[in-house]
């Protein structure tokens, strides 16, 4: 993110798009754009970009783009679909840029079918067409990776279904040995059944419009050792089904997770409680037909329509509280999602969230994120550096580390805030430090009052060298960092300057 000039917020952009101003320069006309024509519009003052076959004049949007003009210019005059999907595939550009629409691409870009065999074929043709050695080697490694997953898919992934008088059971065979509830996402609403299995960076999907109606509740059984997943649906009427249902376009596909469209379900706001003067804990209830567990270190996207424009922002689920008694399991009930959200006085999305009433609904996506629990499982010292709401990924991480990772000897949280009033869950953190001798918390304030006797300052090399230490000379350490982007970027740099390797650092980002 880059700082935007005053008057260039998302709300200002929405206002401009509603002002009736001609933002394309074409007076509302839509045209067919050839590749040659698109390529001509490659300057800041005249910049067209193609996204998913539609061409937009993004010049008026430049100053409003949270990622900055230079980021947008990378796709100037070209097909920017891949670039946008890599960076912000969750942003609904169709909605955000609808007033900038110039028209469609005249020659439809050749869409690469998403199934693995087609990806392979595409990759192979790409290799043939570009015989540069570096490209070749890099692509070759990726090719091997694809082949590996392709084999897994053909050898192992399949689904089947059967029925009794009252039940329909869909069985997915994955042969994945470490199958667990976090890797299975099921949604069954209004006759549509969607079951997704996550396998590293890939996802297998069963998605059909069911033949007949079923009741709201869905049961999911996972045989962890053999990787069998059963989705059990209750028939509304005890009739014999001739088929499971009509397949959706992506039914029975095994593709990269980043190529799957984000799926949203509507969740009910059941409570909203104050954490600090500006931060609240939102409790959302999943629909009865949804089975979803957000893994440690991952985030979800919330989606709401704000004055006619669809807005999406990421948030990292937390626990309802920091469990002191590690036997406690109720917070893993699988029904609720807890989000700790700071309400910014001029924040577009958080202001709208704050106006939600108990009982209102909001769309919540599937989880995303590249944090892997195995990084913690291999460590002896875990150090968490959090700035403000950058504390949120640390909540589940702390709980996981102290509950499930027996090789961890020390867990340290260094929590940066502006003032004492901004510290999230201070009491709970202090309680936890008293309860568990492996855990230590250090609060650092950048704008303390004169009464503050604790540490003060901003993230810096000297501050980190004081707090970030291995418990033994050669102990395996993992340092996780999350906060405002400059805080995270500077923190990572200071850690590297102090001699920590890339593998020892995990930065939470979008």
Q: Which residues bind ligand FAD (CB under 6 A)?
A: 9-10, 299, 313-316, 339-342, 344, 346-350, 389, 392, 484, 510
Q: Where does 288-425 have alpha helices with state H?
A: 348-354, 374-377, 392-404
Binding partner selected for residue 486 from ligand FAD, ligand NAP, none, CB under the kind-specific 5 to 8 Å limit: ligand NAP
Residue 163 binds which entry of ligand FAD, ligand NAP, none, with Cβ cut-offs from 5 to 8 Å by kind? none
**d(Cα 192, Cα 290) in Å, to the nearest integer?**
12
Judged by beta carbon distances under 5 to 8 A according to partner kind, the member of ligand FAD, ligand NAP, none in contact with residue 320 is none
Nearer to ligand FAD among residue 138 and residue 510 (C-beta): 510
Q: Which is nearer to ligand NAP, 35 or 182 (CB)?
A: 182
Q: Could you tell me if 173 and 252 are in contact, meaning their C-beta atoms sit under 8 angstroms apart?
A: no
The option from ligand NAP, ligand FAD, none interacting with 280 (CB < 5 to 8 A, set by class) reads: none
253 membership: H or E segment, kind and range: strand 253-256
What CA–CA distance (Å, rounded) separates 301 from 263?
10
350 binds, options ligand FAD, ligand NAP, none, Cβ within 5 to 8 A by partner type: ligand FAD
Q: How far is the CB of 387 from ligand FAD (least distance, A)?
A: 9
- In whole angstroms, how close is the CB of 422 to ligand NAP at the nearest point? 6
Among ligand FAD, ligand NAP, none, residue 446 binds (CB under 5-8 Å by kind): ligand NAP
CB of 6 vs ligand FAD, minimal distance in Å: 9
Cα–Cα distance, 68 to 200 (Å, whole number): 31
Q: Choosing among ligand NAP, ligand FAD, none, which partner's interface includes residue 390 (Cβ < 5 to 8 Å by kind)? A: ligand NAP
CA pair distance 34, 472, nearest whole angstrom: 63
How near is the Cβ of 9 to ligand FAD at its closest, in Å?
Answer: 5
Minimum distance from CB of 347 to ligand FAD (Å)? 2
Q: Which residue has the tokens 């008088």?
A: 165
Record the tokens describing residue 47, joined without a space: 């910049």
Closest to 398 (Cα-Cα) out of 377, 415, 416, 382: 382
| CB nearer to ligand NAP: pick between 187 and 422 | 422
Question: From the CB of 71, what's the least distance to ligand FAD, in Å?
Answer: 15
Residue 33 · residue 104 · CB < 8 Å: yes
Place of tokens 């065979």: 173
Work out what residue 507 binds among ligand NAP, ligand FAD, none; the CB cut-off runs from 5 to 8 Å by kind: none
The nearer residue to ligand NAP, 152 or 284, going by C-beta atoms, is: 284
Contact 297, 397 (CB under 8 A): yes
Q: Rounded to the nearest 10 degrees, what angle do helices 116-129 and 133-156 cross at? A: 160
Instruction: Pick the closer one to ligand NAP by CB: 53 or 486.
Output: 486
The least distance separating ligand FAD from the CB of residue 296, rounded to whole angstroms, comes to 13
Q: Which residue, 337 or 339, has its beta carbon nearer to ligand FAD?
A: 339
CB 77 within 8 A of CB 48: yes
Question: 80 or 483, CB closer to ligand NAP?
Answer: 483
Which of ligand FAD, ligand NAP, none is residue 17 near (CB under 5 to 8 Å by kind)?
none
For ligand FAD, the closer of residues 154 and 344 by Cβ is: 344
Distance from chain centroid for Cα 221: 25
- Comparing CB distances to ligand FAD, the nearer of 105 and 353 is 353
Closest-CA residue to 169 (of 106, 104, 241)? 241
Q: How far is the CB of 418 from ligand NAP (least distance, A)?
A: 5
Whichever of 276 and 375 has its CB closer to ligand FAD, that residue is: 276
Least separation in angstroms between residue 316's CB and ligand FAD is 4
Residues forming the site for ligand NAP (CB under 6 A): 299, 316, 342, 387-390, 392-393, 416-418, 422, 446-447, 458-459, 482-484, 486-487, 490, 508-510
316, 281 Cβ separation under 8 angstroms? no
C-beta of 109 vs 486, nearer to ligand NAP? 486
45 burial (CB, 10 Å; 0-12 / 13-18 / 19+) is: exposed
Q: Pairing relation of β-strands 410-417 and 381-387?
A: parallel
Residue nearest ligand FAD, Cβ-based: 347
Pairing of strands 214-223, 202-210: unpaired
> Least Å distance between CB 351 and ligand NAP?
14
Closest CA to 223 of 183, 255, 191: 183
Report DSSP letters for 48-99, one per residue. EEEETTEEEE-GGGGGG-TT-HHHHHTTTTSB-HHHHHHHHTTS-HHHHTGG
Query: Which residue reads 């009427």 in tokens?
Result: 237
Instruction: Confirm if 203 and 197 have CB atoms less than 8 A apart.
Output: yes
SS3 126: helix
Q: Quick one: what does residue 60 bind among ligand FAD, ligand NAP, none, with the CB cut-off 5 to 8 Å set by partner type?
A: none
Q: Cβ of residue 327: shortest distance to ligand NAP, in angstroms?
A: 28
């Amino acid at each position: 993110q880059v700082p935007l000039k005053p008057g260039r917020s998302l709300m200002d952009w929405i206002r401009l798009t509603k002002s009736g101003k001609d933002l394309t320069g074409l007076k509302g006309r839509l045209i067919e754009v050839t590749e040659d024509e698109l390529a001509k519009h490659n300057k800041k003052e005249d910049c067209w970009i193609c996204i998913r076959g539609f061409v937009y004049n993004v010049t008026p949007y430049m100053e409003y783009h949270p990622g900055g003009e230079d980021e947008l210019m990378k796709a100037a005059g070209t097909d920017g679909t891949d670039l946008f999907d890599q960076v912000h595939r969750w942003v609904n550009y169709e909605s955000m840029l609808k007033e900038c629409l110039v028209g469609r691409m005249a020659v439809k870009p050749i869409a690469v079918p998403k199934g693995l065999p087609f990806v392979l074929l595409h990759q192979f043709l790409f290799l043939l067409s570009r015989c540069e050695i570096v490209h070749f080697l890099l692509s070759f490694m990726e090719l091997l990776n694809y082949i590996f997953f392709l084999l897994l898919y053909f050898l192992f992934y399949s689904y089947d279904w059967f029925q009794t008088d009252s039940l329909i059971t869909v069985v997915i065979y994955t042969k994945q040995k470490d199958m667990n509830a976090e890797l299975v996402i099921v949604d069954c609403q209004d006759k549509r059944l969607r079951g997704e299995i996550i396998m590293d960076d890939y996802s297998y999907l069963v998605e059909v419009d069911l033949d007949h109606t079923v009741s709201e509740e869905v049961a999911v059984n996972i045989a962890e050792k053999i990787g069998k997943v059963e989705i059990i649906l209750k028939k509304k009427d005890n009739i014999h089904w001739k088929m499971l249902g009509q397949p959706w376009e992506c039914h029975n596909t095994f593709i990269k997770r980043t190529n799957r469209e984000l799926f949203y379900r509507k969740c009910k706001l059941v409570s909203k409680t104050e954490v600090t003067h500006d931060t609240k804990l939102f409790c959302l209830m999943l629909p009865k037909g949804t089975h979803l567990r957000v893994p440690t270190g991952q985030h979800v996207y919330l989606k709401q329509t704000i004055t006619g424009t669809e807005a999406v922002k990421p948030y990292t689920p937390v626990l309802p509280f920091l469990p002191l008694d590690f036997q406690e399991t109720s917070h893993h009930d699988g029904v609720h999602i807890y989000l700790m959200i700071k309400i910014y006085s001029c924040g577009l999305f958080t202001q709208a969230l704050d106006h939600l009433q108990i009982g209102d609904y909001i769309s919540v996506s599937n989880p995303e994120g590249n944090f892997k629990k195995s990084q913690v499982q291999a460590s002896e010292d875990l150090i968490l550096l959090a700035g403000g709401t950058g504390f949120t990924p640390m909540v589940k991480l702390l709980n996981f580390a102290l509950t499930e990772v027996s090789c961890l000897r020390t867990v340290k949280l260094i929590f940066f805030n502006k003032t004492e009033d901004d510290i999230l869950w201070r009491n709970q953190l202090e309680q936890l430090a008293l309860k568990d001798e492996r855990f230590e918390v250090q609060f650092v304030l950048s704008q303390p009052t004169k009464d503050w006797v604790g540490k003060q300052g901003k993230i810096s090399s000297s501050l980190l060298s004081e707090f970030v230490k291995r418990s033994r000379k050669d102990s395996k350490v993992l340092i996780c960092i999350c906060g405002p982007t400059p805080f995270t970027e500077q923190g990572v740099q200071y850690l590297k300057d102090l001699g920590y390797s890339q593998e020892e650092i995990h930065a939470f980002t979008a």
